[in-house]
Structure 1
Amino acid sequence: MTVTKEEFGHYDGVPIYRYTIENQHQTRLRILSYAGIIQEFSVMDAGQRINLVLSFDDLAGFTEHGYNFNRVIGRHAGRIGGANWQTSAGKQITVPANENGNSLHGGPNGLGNQVFASRIDSLNEAVILSYQATEASDGYPGELNMEVQYQLNNDDQVVINLSGTQAGVSGIFNPTVHTYFNVSDPIVSDVTQMSLQVASEARLVLGADKVPTGEIVPVGNALYDFTDLTNLGDRLENFKAMTTERGLDDAFIVSGDLSMPAATLVDDATGRQVTVYSDRNGIILYTANDLNDATMNLNRGLGHPYEGIAIEAQNLPDAVNHLGFGDISIEPGETKTYQIIYQYNHR
């Protein structure tokens, strides 16, 4: 295993570093100190290097465009309705809104917009990123010391540990990595020849603003049921005909058991496969339905709909406003750690 570091440009005058981990199979993971971005998760297949994630060749591609490409997201991934909630003690908490009066992905100054301190952990052959979020910096309660550890092992697993230690007052902690996958050959510019399986029997009902209503419904119909491996091209035709989103932008309930796959993505033509494992109860799926920006020069072509699929492993969104969605609170002096694993295989 090799782990290396190089400068990868500047952001607001601050140097940004790129870390490369490569294993004995030449599988490669590249991480940026800006927003903890996964710039590359690539494998060698039939003599060709295949980047399994949507990406840009330069830092500007990530910093000048939205859509949170492969960024660490927090303190809270997903939406908080009305950008407020009431604590169990009856205190009303309001955080900065950045989308239709709601707080999305930690608000305008969340983790996905920050430069992390970074270093190589030689003992564990890992990359460690750290950042201190304060109430003054992002508007969320208390002080959160965040650490992200990225590892790549010789089983072709990317192991991500997301840790937070709270100080001052009680807060919330529900981060993720907003990774967009496309595991097809580089010439394939959308998700239509991939198939998806999600270990979920139920999903959240979302309002027009994509905030959960609190209702949970079974996936047991032809549109949202991915309990069996399902071709995305075929299913997207149904979404285009039956939904205003014209694709997936939805929250699915999973077991939160790291021993069981939460989601699996397969390229039907080659058999390349990425399986996502998570210790939390939500998987958010987004098929980049409204990605339409010809200034984006991504590795799968100029920005266009369905170029990749975001698979976000997290706690269910807006849990602070819905009993039963899970506990995302974090108390002063408490440390919480969550794990996400991306496993590459060839079927």
Structure 2
Amino acid sequence: MSTPTGRADRRHWGQTPAGEAIHLYTLALPGGVQATLTDFGATLVGVCVPDRRGVLGDVVLGHDQPGPYADHATSPYFGATVGRYANRIAGGQFPLDGQVYRVPPNDGDNALHGGPQGFDHRVWHGETRVEAGRPAVTFTRLSVDGEMGFPGNLRVTVTYTLGELDGAHTLEIDYHAVTDAPTVLNLTNHAYWNLMADPSRGVLEHELTVHASAFTPVRAGGIPTGEVRPVAGTPFDFRTPRPVGERVDAPDEQLTLVGGYDHNLVLDGTGLRLAAVLHDPHSGRELTIHTTEPGVQVYSGNFLDGSVTGKHGQVYAKHAGMCLETQHFPDSPNWPDFPSTRLDPGQTFTSRTVHTFRVR
């Protein structure tokens, strides 16, 4: 029996204010399942998968046009590849080999997702291919020494591959990077998921499971305290399925600090293993995430406030979507006891996250 062949297309989508061309890439499988991406920020623009009735729906928040992705005020990292350092660096600075490096703050006093001109605000080079019927696009860029204050010339690639497995559909993300000088690196994808494919109904009724026995508490500004705290007895215990909204407003100091969930959960195990399951009981869609990363940032869309208009004129209110960002821990360069994010010359950074979509 022959393997159904997917397709990978590219078309012009617009340009940056500086005149750089922006393209839209479509990875498609027979039956209508597809992922759309753009080389601006190596960004995941959309994912269309069926519900239990076979009706396709887009389960990722984002925009119909490229322009809003360039404005953080209207696109809070929707679907972007964020780096060099995903999440926060306290005070916008970190030590490395006796020298202090400074990243321009863009989140109060802190640097968030690589600073104000991070990877999400850069045009990447994209190349498509289809191998064994699976369409893919690889985005590549050189982050030069000193970009946003980070040391070393860093060559980085991000590959998205769409596939099928045992009746399910998969979206794989593979990261690779090398450097010519010691640096720090933490990469993730910042997709906002809504498995109902209806942002107006939000994600509070989605059921979440996270295979994490601990989390890293934060202080004001979302900066880790350095503690690794057991989830047992806290609203961060998702070791069994719980509705996202069941405890999001609980009178817990950690939730109050950031208006809901915006915390790094410390995943159990090592290697490529099951990290999280998100299930929408209304549509039947289920997202399973496997990753090689040590943590996952669970973010319940607390800072969406209705000021952002997304695809098809949809207004994104609080909890319209949620993020499950596989990652190293926030502010790790300032916490030696956290898993290291150091990358040295001669080493190759690799990271893999697999999203699997089913219905039940």
- TM-score normalized with structure 2 length: 0.90
CA-based RMSD? 2.0
What secondary structure does 2:250 align onto?
helix
Tell me whether 1:131 sits opposite 2:141 in the alignment. yes
Tell me whether 1:2 sits opposite 2:7 in the alignment. yes
Which of 52, 71, 92 aligns to 2:59? It is: 52
Taking the TM superposition and a 5 Å limit, the aligned residue runs for 1:143-222 are 143-155=153-165, 156-167=169-180, 169-186=181-198, 188-222=200-234
TM-aligned CA deviation for residue 85 of structure 1? 2.0
1:80: which partner in 2? 89
TM-aligned CA deviation for residue 240 of structure 1? 8.8
- TM-score normalized with structure 1 length: 0.93
Q: Distance in 1 between matches of 2:192 and 2:271?
A: 21
Q: Distance in 1 between matches of 2:332 and 2:245?
A: 32
Query: Cα gap change, 1:219/1:323 in structure 2, threshold over 3 Å: closer, same or farther?
Result: same
Query: Which amino acid in the other structure matches residue 55 of structure 1?
Result: G
Q: Distance in 1 between matches of 2:95 and 2:34?
A: 44
CA distances 1:298-339 after superposition (whole Å, capped 9, x unpaired): 458212110000111011111111122111111123321111
TM-aligned CA deviation for residue 283 of structure 1? 0.5
Query: Which amino acid in the other structure matches residue 263 of structure 1?
Result: A
Q: Distance in 2 between matches of 1:300 and 1:266?
A: 25
TM-aligned CA deviation for residue 285 of structure 1? 1.1
Tell me whether 1:120 sits opposite 2:120 in the alignment. no
Taking the TM superposition and a 5 Å limit, the aligned residue runs for 1:249-328 are 249-255=262-268, 257-298=270-311, 301-328=314-341
What secondary structure does 2:142 align onto?
strand
What secondary structure does 1:233 align onto?
helix
Q: Distance in 2 between matches of 1:315 and 1:151?
A: 22
TM-aligned CA deviation for residue 26 of structure 1? 2.5
1:67: which partner in 2? 76
Contact 2:306–2:318 (CA under 8 A) maintained in structure 1: no
Contact 1:189–1:301 (CA under 8 A) maintained in structure 2: no
What secondary structure does 2:120 align onto?
helix
Query: Cα gap change, 1:157/1:289 in structure 2, threshold over 3 Å: closer, same or farther?
Result: same
Q: Distance in 2 between matches of 1:304 and 1:112?
A: 22
Tell me whether 1:34 sits opposite 2:43 in the alignment. no
What secondary structure does 2:227 align onto?
strand
Identity %: 25
Q: Distance in 2 between matches of 1:210 and 1:165?
A: 29
Query: Which amino acid in the other structure matches residue 63 of structure 1?
Result: A
Query: Which amino acid in the other structure matches residue 37 of structure 1?
Result: T
Query: Which amino acid in the other structure matches residue 232 of structure 2?
Result: G
TM-aligned CA deviation for residue 197 of structure 1? 0.7
Query: Which amino acid in the other structure matches residue 196 of structure 1?
Result: L
2:3: which partner in 1? none
Tell me whether 1:111 sits opposite 2:116 in the alignment. no
Q: Distance in 1 between matches of 2:130 and 2:197?
A: 33
TM-aligned CA deviation for residue 122 of structure 1? 3.8
Contact 1:184–1:272 (CA under 8 A) maintained in structure 2: yes
Contact 2:287–2:355 (CA under 8 A) maintained in structure 1: yes
* Range moving further from structure 2, 337-346 or 22-31: 22-31
TM-aligned CA deviation for residue 80 of structure 1? 1.1
Q: Distance in 1 between matches of 2:128 and 2:185?
A: 25
What secondary structure does 1:138 align onto?
helix
Q: Distance in 2 between matches of 1:126 and 1:5?
A: 11
TM-aligned CA deviation for residue 185 of structure 1? 4.3
Contact 1:239–1:246 (CA under 8 A) maintained in structure 2: no
CA distances 1:166-209 after superposition (whole Å, capped 9, x unpaired): 01x21011110011100014375311221111111100010111
TM-aligned CA deviation for residue 43 of structure 1? 0.9
Structure 2 residue runs of 5 or longer lacking an equivalent are: 1-5
Query: Cα gap change, 1:72/1:181 in structure 2, threshold over 3 Å: closer, same or farther?
Result: same
Query: Which amino acid in the other structure matches residue 229 of structure 2?
Result: V
TM-aligned CA deviation for residue 255 of structure 1? 3.1
Query: Cα gap change, 1:101/1:240 in structure 2, threshold over 3 Å: closer, same or farther?
Result: same
Contact 1:73–1:175 (CA under 8 A) maintained in structure 2: yes
